[in-house]
Amino acid sequence: MLRTNAKNLVMMSVQGKVCNPGARRSPGIDADGKPFHLPGTGGIVYNIKIGDPAFGWAADHIEPCVSSILDEKNRYEGPNSGYVFYACVGNEAIIKTGDAKGKKGVVTGHHGGAEHVMIDFPDSVLEKLTHDDKIMIKGHGQGLQLLDFADITVYNLDPRVLNKMSITARGNKLYVPVTTKIPAQLMGSGTGSLMMTGGDYDIMTTDRKFIAENGIDKIRFGDLVALMDHDNLYGRSFRKGAVTIGIVIHGDCRYAGHGPGVSTLMTASKPLLVPVIDKNANLGRILKIGRFRNK
């Protein structure tokens, strides 16, 4: 087990609610100049979960299961930014109101731009949940450090998940299971952002042939992936030899420069994170949630 400072981390509650799905009044325009009108972010999504394909849906930027937010009108202000910041992948979420009061779920990622936190709940809970319900998250993970690997930084990750990721140490490197390696040139919307502790950035999918050749069209919600030659230490940027480990948090997109979104979990500016291909490297399998619940 990796030595961490987990005992010194703060666990702090943040409270949001189920967010309403939005819709554009005018059509979007895809990378080929074609207009489209499709379901997008927000709401309670009944048929898309962690473990499902990130591609192939009649949707754009779709978020799996339940999308939550603190303040829909002021999503870029401090309180909502705090809600996104404290909610780490793997944190416990508890419904505090309504017919589903007391039921628990798991945070699966946060989506930049929309400023949403996605949460996985069982089907039985989704049937009782409403858009008026409040959800409290036990925020735990920001500030997590690997005590023996000072040049590897961890963001947005519950320490309990870190211990279940089957990471192995060899010398000064960590070998991390991932489903897919993403070439650096594919990272698009969100590159250059300085907010690694919130949001995500997108794998560009306009070149479908290249995407298929690299097996990227097979990725699923909740997959752990390696962003090659990408440094997320002080901002999302290209750096030769750097590696970032992330989690797929939203679906494919039609806009140029967009595609499935990836939230940052681990990063190193030097080649200290070694991705090991494992098709089972998915948050759903690790925590037995989403499509892997009760299996």
> Could you read off the pLDDT of 159-206 as tens digits, one per residue?
999 999 999 999 999 999 999 999 999 999 999 999 899 899 999 999
pLDDT tens digits along 211-256: 999 999 999 999 999 999 999 999 999 999 999 999 999 999 999 9
CA pair distance 222, 101, nearest whole angstrom:
26
User: Could you give the domains of the chain?
Assistant: 8-140 (2.40.10.170), 153-286 (2.102.30.10)
What's the predicted TM-score (pTM) here?
A: 0.96
**DSSP label at residue 218:** G
CA pair distance 102, 169, nearest whole angstrom:
39
The Cβ of residue 145 has, within 10 Å, a number of other Cβ atoms equal to: 16
DSSP states of 114-161 as a string?
Answer: TTEEEEE--HHHHTT--TT-EEEEEEE-TT-BBTT-TT-EE-SB-HHH
Which amino acid type is present at position 86? Y
